[in-house]
Amino acid sequence: MKIAVFSTKAYDKDYLERYNTFGFKLTFYKVRLTEETAHFAKGHDAVCVFVNDQITAEVLEILKEDGVQMIALRCAGFNNVDLEKAMELKMPVLRVPAYSPHAVAEHALALILTLNRKTHKAYNRVRDMNFSLERLEGFDLYNKTVGVIGTGIIGSVFAKVVKSFGCRVIAFDVKENEELTAMGVEYASLEDLLPQCDIVSLHCPLLPSTYHLINKETLKLMKPGSMLINTSRGALVNTKHVIKALKSRHLGYLGMDVYEMEDKLFFRNLSEKIIEDDQIARLLAFPNVLITAHQAFFTDEALTQISKTTLNNVNEFANHLPLTNQVTF
């Protein structure tokens, strides 16, 4: 099997080559998969793509015409794939449903602790020999109420972590997790959850039903001064509405590892460029906003699991085995 790997970074190449025990021929491209770059995959049997690659109907048509037979996602999300078109073209789409839920859950906690205790600001102060504690005041997590929206694998791990801090945990999902309820996690509707929570953390997938789940109406329901954390998908949050909530002081803190327009920014060094995205510039101007560039997954354990599962997905397809991680429309 020949695999064209798009959106390649040095670590992608390192881990995929390290765990390529199947002997696949891997061709690495730094560019994203788009309509303009799709022909790079000509002569390959599969493409391996990441979160910001664009697997649209037009791209799929080009890939099919050039002989590509399947799509291997090295991520859990699949909102960037036209699944209906892929099914029509008989091109299976396989993903990595779980790589390291602990990596993402722990990063969400890191955002919470950093925003709360302002360790990033304290670090910079001390580097400048400023040992003042002024404006570094935080709050105890103990006894605070944390809302977990989405209690799949990652959300469940996060709920357990914050529960261990002595937090009261309220969850919202279409299906209750019995293990969490046995631990004392309460389930409530979104309308009942938001007003009670000091911290709200998003762990649900991006679907038509969850697009802009956090908007001006749901933000109004949130407790004044509360904290919003998003380590899931950028478009769960309406950025314009969140900026307004921050400006009005209704939203007290915002921690983001994802951003709905991140495909033009993240995974690249733009330090010498002029950023034309006014929304990200505005967010970065707030002292109570912390943004990381989609790094929640970025641990050795996660990269290992992503590589192993991605390559095994291709192997199943190549050997006509049941496709364990196929995404269906």
Q: Where are the beta strands (DSSP E) in the chain?
A: 2-5, 25-28, 46-49, 70-73, 93-94, 145-149, 168-172, 186-187, 199-202, 226-230, 251-256, 289-291, 326-327
Query: What angle (nearest 5°) sits at the alpha carbon of residue 234, between those of residues 150 and 135?
Result: 90
Check if 2-99+300-327 and 101-291 are the same fold. Answer: yes
Residue 100: per-residue pLDDT = 85
CATH code assigned to 2-99+300-327: 3.40.50.720
CA 68, distance to chain mean position in Å, is 27
Convert the pLDDT of each residue in 50-94 to its tens digit.
Answer: 988 999 999 999 999 999 999 999 998 888 999 999 999 999 999
Domain ranges of the chain: 2-99+300-327, 101-291
Which of 327, 271, 301, 324 minimizes the C-alpha distance to 78? 327
Q: Please report, for the chain, how many H helices and E strands are present, in that order.
A: 12, 13
Convert the pLDDT of each residue in 280-290 to its tens digit.
Answer: 999 999 999 99
CA-based R_g, the chain, Å: 21
Question: What is the arrangement of strands in the sheet containing 289-291, beginning at the earlier edge strand?
Answer: 186-187, 168-172, 145-149, 199-202, 226-230, 251-256, 289-291
Look up residue 90 and give its two tokens. 């008989």
Convert the pLDDT of each residue in 15-58 to its tens digit.
Answer: 999 999 999 999 999 999 999 999 999 999 999 999 889 999 99
Give residue 253's region: left, alpha or beta (phi > 0; psi -120 to 50). beta
Looking at domain 101-291, its CATH superfamily turns out to be NAD(P)-binding Rossmann-like Domain (3.40.50.720)
Residue numbers annotated as active site: 233, 262, 294
* pTM across the whole model: 0.90
Convert the pLDDT of each residue in 164-176 to its tens digit.
Answer: 999 999 999 999 9
Q: Tell me the pLDDT band of 294, cut-offs 50, 70 and 90.
A: very high
User: What is the arithmetic mean of pLDDT over 290-300?
Assistant: 96
Neighbours of 97 (CB within 10 A): 15
